[in-house]
Structure 1
Amino acid sequence: MRPAALRPALLAAVLLAAVAAVPAALHAAPEGPVAAAADPAMAKALADPRRDKDRVRDAYRHPAETLAFFRIKPGMTVADYMPSSGWYTRILVPYLGDKGTYIGLTAGSATASAETKARLQAFPASFPAKAAAWTGVPEARIPAYTLDAIPAERKGTVDRVMIMREVHNMWPDNLLYNDLAAIRSLLKDDGLLGIEEHRARPDAPASYTLGTMGYMREADVIALIEAHGFKLVGKSEINANPKDTANWPDGVWTLPPVLTLKDKDRARYEAIGESDRMTLLFAKRP
């Protein structure tokens, strides 16, 4: 195994290579908005009263269309990386149904500080109860793991893994190498990795796109994920927002829902809405 200190340099070299042109056909979701809206199981999940506070963000996150683009269907086993406060948990658990499985994942703790390591290691025990309270499903049906402690019997059993707006944290926190290797081990041979990420302008400077501002260039994200054993199979503009200039001095958190500047120019930022986002789909490479 290569020394960890060499990995950032190797990955930086990967980013210098141009990303191959993607065929136009890959830009379209395999199941469009009409198909997603017509899915009665999805419509029921989105209408659940437990989502009453979440629903305001549907216009920016397009959950039905995004999950359709990721080719997620009831009965599948789907793992959600860093589920945070459970926005997608409250959709996926009921949508996957009794025959499906939702798995909560958090980062491996090998490179974490002592405080962060303790928090990550507590996740497998604490998350199922939270998810059960959010969804009404027994916690025994909602497994959770840190990515450096995946049970052997779980490997190769997952249909889809989702990483939603977390690559900008994984990159500067040195999590990509270990966590993506673990994600590959979880996925079935035909499993897919869906990624949504805040999108920087293609010509944004490196100082703005290393993750600390929340934005990353699409070409960089594709190169990083492909360098870790995946191949891009689709990209979509489902979560695009052309109003976002993606050059805010305070980063992506200038925009809703965080609104870092509080009441300063609040109406302006609320009119823009949430960030411009890339939505990407990857398959495992042999």
Structure 2
Amino acid sequence: MSIITTRKTVVLSLLFSCIAFSSVADTAAQSTEFQQLAESAQRSAEHIQRNEYRHPAQTLQFFGIKPDMSVLEIWPGHGWYTEILAPFLKEQGKLTLAQFRHNDGSLKDDRSIFWARVSERLAQRIADNAEYFGTPDMIELDPPLFYPQQNEQYDMVLTFRNAHIWNEDGNLFATLQSIFAALKPGGILGMVEHRAARLSDISSSAVEGYLDESYVIEAAELAGFTLMESSELNANPADTKNYPKGVYALPPTLAMGNYNKAEYLKIGESDRMTLKFIKPEQ
């Protein structure tokens, strides 16, 4: 081997080492930032307490979110993840929130009216604290459609514990199709969902609020996605998934009231699948 070739090999080796070191350093810094945001004074004590079960820093790291991405968070509710995502993305990236349908007076059922009120409160809170949240865009998701329609606009779509609601209403597959259309080619769908008890390769026990993991993966793949990776970050083996009110018996809902409350608190929040899909490049 010539001296010139040897020098080139050494230079390339050093270059790749520097790139790898820089990537590790960036990942570590990003993880620290997520953790700091998860414990921010902008969050309530109740929200911070749930970090124990939701693992936000590790979950967002698993999905591969970057500060310069265009990200859509679906049905943010009270803003549990928005409190982390908005400040993380506000300088270089862009956060869009797909809120619940606005109550224009036509909503009749109590659940939709309640959700619309939750969305209004979050929007007002963001407007009142723009220095922290920045200025996320707001659209609506009335499953299975986004209003206005979204086409190849996002690097990443995130949905946390929403798929079971779409499934209950018969809209899971069609909503996943809308999400697929909203992502850019190569875009990522990150999903966390309550996981049903698996009985065998072909059967599961899915009480209220839980979904079978294989079923969710198959629905996403039929919509066009490819599963990249799954994680046990949000697994909870203590969740037996056999409660009178399903997942809602567990915290934070505690739908059974004081009945068996100590036991449900001991179990903690539900066992959850954590799935990372990609929209294939066209």
What's the TM-score bracket when you normalise by the shorter of the two chains?
0.7 to 0.9
Higher CA-based Rg: 2
1:12 maps to what in 2?
none
**Distance in 1 between residues matched to 2:269 and 2:119, nearest whole Å:** 30
Q: Which moved more, 1:96-105 or 1:116-125?
A: 116-125
Q: Which amino acid aligns with 1:278?
A: M
Q: Which has the higher contact order (CA 8 A, sep 6+)?
A: 1
Identity %: 36
Q: CA deviation at 1:121?
A: 8.4
Partner of residue 42 from structure 2, selected from 33, 50, 55: 50
Q: Which amino acid aligns with 1:268?
A: E
Per-residue CA distance 1:156-189 (angstroms, 9 max, x = gap)? 2211111111111001212224422221222111
**Distance in 2 between residues matched to 1:176 and 1:108, nearest whole Å:** 17
Per-residue CA distance 1:186-212 (angstroms, 9 max, x = gap)? 211111001111111112897952xx7
DSSP-derived class of the 1:203 partner:
strand
State the TM-score, normalized to the length of structure 2. Answer: 0.76
Runs of 5+ in structure 2 lacking a partner? 1-22
**Distance in 1 between residues matched to 2:173 and 2:101, nearest whole Å:** 10
- From the superposition, tell whether residues 132 and 269 of structure 1 become closer, same or farther in structure 2 (CA, over 3 Å): same
Q: CA deviation at 1:233?
A: 0.7
Per-residue CA distance 1:23-80 (angstroms, 9 max, x = gap)? xxxxxxxx99xx5686343233223201132100000000000001111121211111
- From the superposition, tell whether residues 124 and 217 of structure 1 become closer, same or farther in structure 2 (CA, over 3 Å): closer
**Distance in 2 between residues matched to 1:162 and 1:181, nearest whole Å:** 14
Q: Tell me how large the CA RMSD over aligned residues is.
A: 3.2
- From the superposition, tell whether residues 172 and 207 of structure 1 become closer, same or farther in structure 2 (CA, over 3 Å): farther
Partner of residue 69 from structure 1, selected from 47, 57, 62: 62
Assess if the C-alpha contact under 8 Å between 1:104 and 1:127 holds in 2.
no
Assess if the C-alpha contact under 8 Å between 1:199 and 1:218 holds in 2.
yes
Partner of residue 151 from structure 2, selected from 131, 134, 155: 155
Assess if the C-alpha contact under 8 Å between 1:36 and 1:64 holds in 2.
no
DSSP-derived class of the 1:51 partner:
coil
Q: Which amino acid aligns with 2:31?
A: D
Assess if the C-alpha contact under 8 Å between 2:146 and 2:178 holds in 1.
no
DSSP-derived class of the 1:248 partner:
coil
1:88 maps to what in 2?
81
Assess if the C-alpha contact under 8 Å between 2:86 and 2:133 holds in 1.
no
2:251 maps to what in 1?
256
User: How many residues are matched?
Assistant: 248
1:273 maps to what in 2?
268
Assess if the C-alpha contact under 8 Å between 2:155 and 2:183 holds in 1.
yes
